[in-house]
Structure formats: C-alpha cells, structure tokens
Structure 1
C-alpha cells in the first residue's frame, strides 16, 4: 500500500472530474494539484499520529465519523452535496494544520500554480476523502491507534522495516524531509520548501 493506491482507485476519474468542475480548472491541473496536496495532508495526519494523544484522537475519528462509508457514495457527495464535504474538510484542516492552514495553502498554491482559494477548496474536499480512506484501511488491516503512524507511513511510501528505529515510516520518508529545521513542526517549513521549487 502506498500513495498511488489513493490516487489510482476505481473512482479516481469521477473524483477528479468533479473536483475540476468545482475548481474551474482542467482535469490535468486537478490531478497534478492532488499529487501535491495528498502528501501534505497525509504528512500532517502522520505528524499528529506521532503523539499518543494525537493518535487516539485520530483513531476515534476513524472509528466514528470517518469510517470509510463516504467512499461508497463519493461521486454523489461531490456532485450534489459538496457543502457538507467542505464543512467537514475545513474542520479537519483546522485540526491538523491549526494556525498554519494559510501557510500550507500558500505553499501548495505556489507549487501548483493555482490560487489559494482553489487550493483551500481542494484541500477541504480532499481531507474527508483521505480520512475515509484511512478509516477503511484501518478496519481492513485491524490497525489500532498505535499503528496509525505506520499506516500513514505506508501510504507515503514508507515500509514497516523503517519503523524498527522506533518511529513510524512516515517520519523517515516524509516528516524529516519537511521538518528541515528540526523543531518538530514540519508545517512551518512548507512555505520555504515550496518557495525553492
């Protein structure tokens, strides 16, 4: 399981087409923006899951509201009821990014060439989808709160072997790359990372 599993689902084309329509951009632009936005979302979730409190909070959300059922009706939700998804997504973004949400949006916008309003909407629509996918994976693999870091690391291309050091795969594959100043908060490094690309 890796990030491509999330991108290459049976509903991908429908999801991309729906997002493209809502953002007013081409499917190609949307696909490229998703490829930038997904690792940022997964990276933030993975960072949160590195603390026991954060892992428990994420686990609780995946056990209840974000249980994966959204994926069965995703096209309809995106097409007819996207305001609910947006509200849910903005709540998720506020939780995982906190006061760095604007910084993240600006960074992703610079990387993709889209404006921050488009990126804000894209991230908000993607967040519940990512959470639903995680909820589905959690149940299929019977993952506990303590295993969420490795689950997220796997989505980002980490391996279980990398967790032998005592950290989740996500820390080896993504967190360290983003947290360039080593302060434990990769989000504050996003603007600099995107600005240099």
Structure 2
C-alpha cells in the first residue's frame, strides 16, 4: 500500500460526509481530489528554504498529536487549517479553491457524457436491423 493510501485511510470520510450533508462517495471523491493538491502544495513549499521555514513556523507550537492517532472531524481546528492552507498556497489559494470546486461539476459532466455514450451503443437490435 502506498503512503498516499495510508494517509487516505486516516481521513474520516464518513464524518466529513455527515458534516457536509453529502453521501460517502461524494465526500470520498472530494478528499481524493483535495488531498493530492494539499500534499503537492506542501511538497512545493518544502523544496524552497523559505517555504520550509514557513511550514515549520505554521506548525510550531501546535498540537501535532492529531497526526499520530485516529482522526475525528470535531478534533480538527478549521481556523488553524485555514491559516496553514493560506501559508501553503499564498495568493494562489483562491485559484486552488476554484479548481477544486469545479472538479465535482467536471466529474458529473464526464459521467453524464459517458452514460449517454454507453446507452447510445447499447440499443437493442430487432430483426437484423441496426440503429
């Protein structure tokens, strides 16, 4: 199992779904889209000495034990999370939010097109006449 899969298993998808009022599949899709984006931003910042210092500063003095135990959504400090996201993405934060927000609409559109195409090819044939 990859480190990403290990991390993904720790995310309380069911609690997120309940908190947002969506089904588990929708919450799971959102997490699978957002997590790589956050990790990529962290990685990009960690490659730059100023970015690495910024990450260290953002985590300094914070309780990091949350990363070492089972996570419950109510244990997450969303204000702290927002501050960290601001540090990770800086002035590109709104672009990232917009891209992530557009993803479910894109996915729904792709699924609708795929569904229509599969039904277009699955028409029953009668008496040897196709179409």
Q: For the superposition of Structure 1 and Structure 2, which TM-score range results when normalised by the shorter chain?
A: 0.5 to 0.7
User: What residue in structure 2 maps to residue 99 of structure 1?
Assistant: 91
Q: How far apart, CA to CA, are the structure 1 residues paired with 2:56 and 2:93?
A: 22
- Structure 2 counterpart of 1:57: 54
1:59 deviation in Å?
Answer: 3.3
Residues 1:74 and 2:75 aligned together = no
CA contact (8 A) 2:17 2:23 kept: yes
Is 1:34 equivalent to 2:26 in the alignment? no
- Residue 48, structure 1, aligned to residue 58, structure 2: no
Tell me the CA shift for residue 2 of structure 1: 2.3
Moved runs in structure 1, 4+ residues, more than 3 A? 59-64
Q: TM-score, normalised to structure 2's length?
A: 0.68
**Superposition RMSD on alpha carbons, in Å?**
2.3
Query: Secondary structure, in 3 states, of the residue corresponding to 2:22?
Result: coil
Inter-CA distance 50–66: structure 2 relative to 1 (3 Å threshold): farther
Q: Which residues of structure 1 form unaligned runs of 5+?
A: 115-197
| Residue 74 to residue 2, structure 1, CA distance change in 2 (3 Å) | closer
Q: Deviation string for 1:103-153 (max 9, x for gaps)?
A: 111101111239xxxxxxxxxxxxxxxxxxxxxxxxxxxxxxxxxxxxxxx
Residues 66, 44 of structure 1: alpha-carbon distance in 2 compared, 3 angstrom cutoff: farther
Query: Following TM superposition, by how much is the alpha carbon of 1:63 offset from its aligned partner in structure 2, in angstroms?
Result: 5.6
Contact 1:48 1:96 in 2 (8 A): yes
Report the structure number with the largest CA radius of gyration.
2
How has the CA–CA distance of structure 1 residues 25 and 113 changed in structure 2, closer, same or farther, with 3 Å as cutoff? farther
> In the alignment, is residue 108 of structure 1 matched against residue 96 of structure 2?
no
Q: Relative to 1, partners in 2 of residues 1:60 and 1:103: Cα closer, same or farther, differing over 3 Å?
A: closer
Structure 2 runs not aligned, ≥5 long: 107-131
Give, in whole Å, the separation in 2 of the partners of 1:31 and 1:109.
14
